[in-house]
A = this chain, B = another copy of it.
């Protein structure tokens, strides 16, 4: 399951996506509109900024802006920045790989299954974007 922090991140990005092209958005505005605890939100936005997804401006008229167009921000990236691995096992993660103890990766059955599961999940999360999330169109095909 995604942490609450990650859900907040998505909500914040949703709001920034709706304001895309309209200049900087203050943390306080995001906090108020999306009902996210302000100080907690600060941490989240800094992380997204450090990951290159947001740009910030200090002082009056400042705030946060998306550095990438909503249609180019895929959901997998957001999850990886805030939540961590998407795979179900560390030894199967593409971005957070860790060797598993006592397991021959070449023959491990569990590993094989989890690779298949990972790929199925990623096909969705890497295809869907923040634009898909704010456009309320129903996707008939997948």
Contacts and interface: CB of A to CB of B under 8 A. Distances in A.
8 contacts: A1-B84, A1-B87, A1-B88, A2-B88, A2-B89, A107-B136, A109-B132, A109-B133
Contact of A10 (B1, B2, B110, B112): B110
Contact of A120 (B35, B121, B139): B121
A109 B136 contact: yes
Contacts of A135: 109
Contacts of A136: 107, 109
A134 interface: yes
Interface stretch (A24-32, A52-60, A61-69, A123-131): A123-131
Contact of A7 (B79, B110, B113): B110
| Number of copies of this protein chain within its complex | 2
Given A1-B88, A123-B120, A128 B110 contact: no
A79 B128 CA distance: 25
Contact of A75 (B75, B87, B113, B134): B113
Nearest to A123: B120
Interface string A1-42: 110000100110010000000000000000000010000000
Give the interface centre of A107, A109, A121, A132 by most chain B CB atoms within 10 Å: A109
A-B pairs with lowest CB-CB distance, top 9: A109-B133, A117-B124, A120-B120, A120-B124, A121-B121, A2-B88, A113-B128, A10-B110, A35-B102
